[in-house]
Amino acid sequence: MEKNTSLEKLRRIDRECCLLARSASLLHWDLETYLPAQGVEERSEQLALLESLCHERFTSTETGRLLDELGSSADNPRGDEKLPDLERDFLRRTRMDYDRKKKLPLDFVAAAAKAEGLSQAAWVEAKTNNNFAAFLPHLETMIDFARRQSLYWGFEGRVYDGLLDIYEPNMGVSEIASVFTPLRERLSALLKKIASKPEPDFSFLNSGFDAQTQAKFNLELMKYLEFNTQRGRLDVSAHPFTTTLGSNDVRITTRYLPDNFLSSIFSTIHECGHAFYELDIPEELHVTCLADGASMGVHESQSRLWENVIGRSLPFWEGLFPVLKKCVPDRFDSVKAEDLYRAVNLAKPSLIRVEADEVSYSLHIILRFELEQGLFSGAIKASDLPSLWRTKMKEYLGIVPETDTQGVLQDVHWSHGSFGYFPSYALGNLYGLQFFRKLKEDIPDFDNILLKGKFSPIHEWLRDNIHKWGRRLSPGELLKKVTGEELSVDPFLKYIEEKYTAIYRI
């Protein structure tokens, strides 16, 4: 009875902290979508207050005492063996979060939250005006906060490992480099072969798509993918993202470029993949620390599975093409689904990561991974980033951005202090293809499902095998449970090489 009372009290604290965190997420969402420019300063203070309240509540002596009473310790985070598995998973995650957050001083947490709000607003302005110098002081501040955070956690001498561990537990620099090396070598070789072949014609997608037309199609696209618009919505932001404001309130954003219709299409599909994961979290995990993905790499596996493996396949476009033609009349009368399929699979180096094709995308990630390593090892100064960015773009992709807006300022992540996040995208490609192989084994008529646009069997498989676990399992545990395998680059590289060899007739 005493343990049940302790568990009930601990769950109450966890719920309060989850509600505070989601309230902060709402303010962040508004900051990136609708907040008036002059509201940034006070918004940053609001966020700092919420972060402080949440941190103070969660790291209280009461939380530590309750964990101890339930037998949860650093050596035995799952606590009393007599408790049900769900409760022991809850204790493990709570203990891990508690031990880490307890090491961060309250004034540090508040200051970092306020700096993040100011930094994000400064980034938007700097990107708009191609003014890296204006953003540099904020960037240096966020780097300092990230460095200090890792040091508080005890990662002396390997600061970047501490930051990587936030997003992909137990994956440090050496582990990530071991999978990135074969990715870089084989993808670079494939790009060179593709470059010798004629490009597909995609001129019919290059211009004349106003924001209203794109918005109309993207709403139809969400419905087509079976996104429940009673539990989420689509808005516009400078950089597409997904945020969970409640168990039945998941927001996604996209952006509309008049000369690049595909940008909004694939960012919407990508963010829908994230949202499906969040919306599939089972009710028993709602408003708890377990109501999230196993890791950012696993989360990205879902968004990139929908965006690329599904969203860039021929059966998918054969099914979706009539919807597109109805939303954009007269523009595709002389175009076939096969033409569109080749166009959306154009493999050509791009300056912008979120517009990159499947072949070159991971090279963008490796570039950022190496720059972040340098920043936190001390080998690189923040002021050197623009020139180093151009150098690495030339080396890895053979192109050089003319502006910092197209280069070092293109991503929002560093303005948030999200150093260590980028590798998750490429790791997501790897997880995604391993999950996909098992999915297709279990659903042999997969292509026919895409052709008909009836995605329920896919949604059900992902929910029952991946989404239902939330944060109960580590990434490695989840991958092993679903596929029986360890993380591997081979399924992804095999998929990429076979697909693009066929498209470009190499």
- Catalytic positions are 271
As a whole number of angstroms, the distance between CA 468 and CA 473 comes to 10
CA 308 to chain centre: 14
Q: Is 449 helix (H, G, I), strand (E, B) or coil?
A: helix
Q: Which residue has the tokens 């597109």?
A: 324
> Are 168 and 475 spatial neighbours (Cβ–Cβ below 8 Å)?
yes
Angle, in degrees to the nearest 10, between helices 261-279 and 337-344: 80
Each residue of 397-418: b (16+ CB within 10 Å) or e?
beeebeebbbbbbbbbbbbbbb
CB neighbourhood size of 440 (10 A): 14
As a whole number of angstroms, the distance between CA 25 and CA 32 comes to 11
HEC states along 24-56? HHHHHHHHHHCCCHHHHHHHHHHHHHHHHHHHH
Residues 6+ apart with CB under 8 A from 136: 382, 383
CA-CA-CA-CA torsion for 415, 417, 423, 425, nearest 10 degrees?
-50
As a whole number of angstroms, the distance between CA 16 and CA 12 comes to 6
The two counts, helices (H) then strands (E), for the chain are 20, 3
What is the number of residues in the chain? Answer: 506
> Are 504 and 197 spatial neighbours (Cβ–Cβ below 8 Å)?
yes
